Amino acid sequence: MSPLNPSLRAILTATHGDPFAVLGPHLEEGRLVIRTFQPRATAVRVAIGGQATAVQEMTVRHPDGLFEAVLPGVTAIVPYRLEVTWRDSGEQVTIDDPYRFGLLLGDLDLYLMGEGRHQELHRALGAHPTVIDGVAGTRFAVWAPNASRVSVVGDWNGWDGRIQPMRQRLPQGVWELFVPGVGAGARYKFELVAAAGGPPFLKADPCASAAEVPPATASIVCADSVFEWQDGEWIADRVRHREALDRPLSIYEVHLGSWARGADGAFLSYQDLATRLIAHVQQLGFTHVELLPVLEFPYDGSWGYQVTGFFAPTSRFGTPDDFRAFVDALHRAGIGVILDWVPGHFPKDAHGLASFDGTSLYEHADPRQGEHRDWGTLIFNYGRNEVRNFLTASALAWIEDFHLDGLRVDAVASMLYLDYSRNAGEWVPNAFGGRENLDAVSFLQQLNTLVHERHPGVVTIAEESTAWPGVSRPVHLGGLGFTYKWNMGWMHDILTYMSKDAIHRRWEHTHLTFSMLYAYNENFILPFSHDEVVHGKRSLIDKMPGDSWQKAANLRALYGYMFTHPGKKLLFQGCEFGQWREWNHAESLPWFLLEHAPHDGLLRFVGDIAHLYRREPALFERDYDHTGFQWIDCNDNENSVITYIRRAANPADFLVVLMNFTPVPRERYVVGVPVPGRYDEIINSDASAYGGTNLGNGGQVSTIAAPAHGHAQSLSVTLPPLSCVVLKPAP
């Protein structure tokens, strides 16, 4: 056994930076030399030729598993396979050598990665079953520019990082390897060694298409999808109407892990969730569902907002194709699907993106820029081409591979401000000395531009709570380019107002009306989201004052105001039937409450007003045009009453909305209206079917020739207690 040169010794210690320079076939001094490292083998033979016409025993160059065959007179690299005898079992198997295959990624792939413009990044990186030179296997690739060695490890090689080190492609720092015989379903990770040395460490694949069910953390090789989409009509309609700000948009926000569970408390499958969710959403009349993140995540208590798999639907409920079937079923039922997407931060879990190659690769190295101390998470480095590319490719993959209709971008405010939740001295100003995160602004503009250019009709929604200008304005006009922005100001104001006892509301009247001073600054969505029913904030119905009847009546009035106020709508699961407890991610919603009339009545009202919203163009066509809204009287704070008109694109098509926020009925309440005639009462939140007192106007009321509120005609109406009443001129 001859002494080993440094290159061969580096293979044994898994420190060689270019294993292809040593392993596999090489022409050396007019002969073919084949080397393989098989530490679990007792013997290896090389079979030359496609039909194994010649077999030669390989020499043991080192007892740790380094084998070599020298073929004098063979002056070209020829096909071969390896016949390996395993030490533990004595079994002999024939395998293909990963180190006899050439370069995998093309120059264009590498160039686009370096530029940060590879919009199908997950198709180049990650794990992809393929056939090369007639051999089936899986092509692995990962970006880790600062690692000194990267290996792919899995069940097939005993998770031994010495066996299959990868080839590095410079200057991009991508590592690649084709592993014959590995197919769909195989578990794998990458084993890395930092450039600075130290022990090897394991990372899940950032571009994996699937992962193990948590708390296990391995990535899963996933075959190309065989799912046959049947939602072509839905997609065509989405493209035809583009962003369609003049169409109804009502969103039912859902956490799949707690919306409903099995009798044993186990998660439902994507299929079971689709069946039950479709029936419920159709009953309610909502146009879309919005899913709390289903990107793979390790910790249930994060609700999905601490993501480790930016391209993989969580395996808790099924496979990626099961998720495709879930989306397809909702589309065929006429329901859109929006995803909460989280580019603002990522967790520190050891198998995730943190210090991925031994350096701060995806995050900033300086904790003043790269760490959210409140959340215990890390912040993406938006100034790095490859990081922006990773995130934009993730967003596009969810739209293109899973047919999603929109992305609600989480925690935008935390991205925009360098001093977000930081004290003086804990943050680094931008190049101009300001607090704005200019790299994040550029990233968000790039993201929105890409989504809207490539996928007309797909919406992007910003969860943004500050006065940052132009969040939902086009990028070419200096905006961030989102389709919509959550109206957090309206939400806080109205919940503050509604939490007051009715006798005190006269002093809080501006909380009702202030939103109309800025209603057209952005394209707003009015949200009652999961954030408002956790962490001691109480459920929506429990925020309401009064006894149980008044709480329910208050909540019906609140929903009436939301559905008739300008802006699109969002309501979190469980709020539609008034669950009493705060939301708990670890339990099913308390559906048994619907056996009780007050909760069933609330559900009926939400369904009826949501259907009314979709039927009446006056409630959505001019959401973002000041001509679609007109106060009748916004100043009656003594009675805590507001009245207003909503108009459709056709000004003659309008509704009159009457809101009474006290438990005192108002008889013969005078309201000025634009045209004479009969007005039909098309919804009344105090109807007995909803759990109310059934006070109202007998279904209709006619005008009298008495001027009021600047109109020549008026109505004398009955306003039920704690109610929303909507009137429509009769044809």
What are the residue numbers of the active site? 410, 463
Give the three-state DSSP class for 561: helix
How many angstroms separate the CA atoms of 501 and 506, rounded?
A: 10
DSSP per-residue codes, 695-716? -S-TTEEE-BS--BTTBSEEEE
Tokens encoding 555 = 């909540």
Give the other-Cβ count within 10 Å of 507's Cβ.
11
Per-residue tokens: 276: 């039950």
Count the residues in the chain: 731
**Edge-to-edge strand list for the sheet holding 126-132:** 126-132, 135-143, 174-180, 167-169
DSSP state of 261: B
Alpha carbons 167 and 174: distance in angstroms, whole number = 8
- Record the tokens describing residue 40, joined without a space: 């679990």
Give me the residues paired with residue 711 across strands: 708
Identify the burial level of 397 via C-beta atoms within 10 angstroms of its C-beta, where 0-12 means exposed, 13-18 middle and 19 or more buried: buried
Measure the CA–CA gap between 656 and 263, rounded to whole angstroms. 46
- How far, CA to CA in Å, does 64 sit from each of 12, 331, 591? 7, 57, 62
Q: How far apart are CA 640 and CA 660, in angstroms?
A: 6
Backbone angles phi, psi at 132, to 5 degrees: -125, 125
Distances (CA, A) of 602 to 222, 574, 718: 44, 11, 22
Q: Strands 371-372, 147-154: parallel, antiparallel or unpaired by DSSP?
A: unpaired
Tokens representing 290 are 């919005």
Q: What are phi and psi of 254, to 5 degrees?
A: -135, 135
Cβ atoms of 193 and 279 within 8 Å: the answer is: no
Name the residue with tokens 């084949």: 34
